[in-house]
Amino acid sequence: MIEPIRPNEVGAAKLKVFPPQVIEAFNSLIAEKFVDGSARVKQEEVLAKILSLGTFSRNEIFERGLLNVEAIYREVGWSVEYYKPDYTESGDAYFTFKTKARPKRP
């Protein structure tokens, strides 16, 4: 019998069905920008990277939610936050990927 997906299973399930080109684009930018335990990836940078692969249009990326990678990266050990300025603010939307802090030894 099939059971509903549990919240803690979403990241692993998404990884199985998510387009590899999107993960490739994020991985490339995370590696490029990773310094002192974190990487800040601007939304426009990752969009440009995905579009350069020629697989998806900008509209398709947003319609399919292909930038919603937080659960996927959390599943493999990242702390991920997404920031998007509201209409009263200026600036870029971005993702912050951080290595999870390891517990201190006694």
Among residues 2, 5, 17, the alpha carbon closest in space to that of 68 is found at: 17
Between helix 20-33 and helix 43-52 the angle, nearest 10°, is: 130
Does 23 fall in a domain? Answer: yes
The DSSP symbol for 15 reads: H
pLDDT at 30: 97
Does 106 fall in a domain? Answer: no
- Calpha distance 41→30 (Å, rounded): 7
Does 40 fall in a domain? Answer: yes
Q: What is the mean pLDDT of the chain?
A: 91
pTM: 0.86
Does 34 fall in a domain? Answer: yes
Number of independent structural domains in the chain:
1
- Calpha distance 12→93 (Å, rounded): 25
Does 2 fall in a domain? Answer: no
| CATH number for position 86 | 1.10.10
Radius of gyration of the chain measured on its C-alpha atoms: 15
Does 25 fall in a domain? Answer: yes
- Calpha distance 58→104 (Å, rounded): 43
Does 1 fall in a domain? Answer: no
Does 80 fall in a domain? Answer: yes
* Structural domain span for residue 48: 7-99
pLDDT tens digit sequence for 52-88: 988 899 999 999 999 999 999 998 999 999 999 998 9
Provide the pairing of β-strand 38-42 with 78-83: unpaired
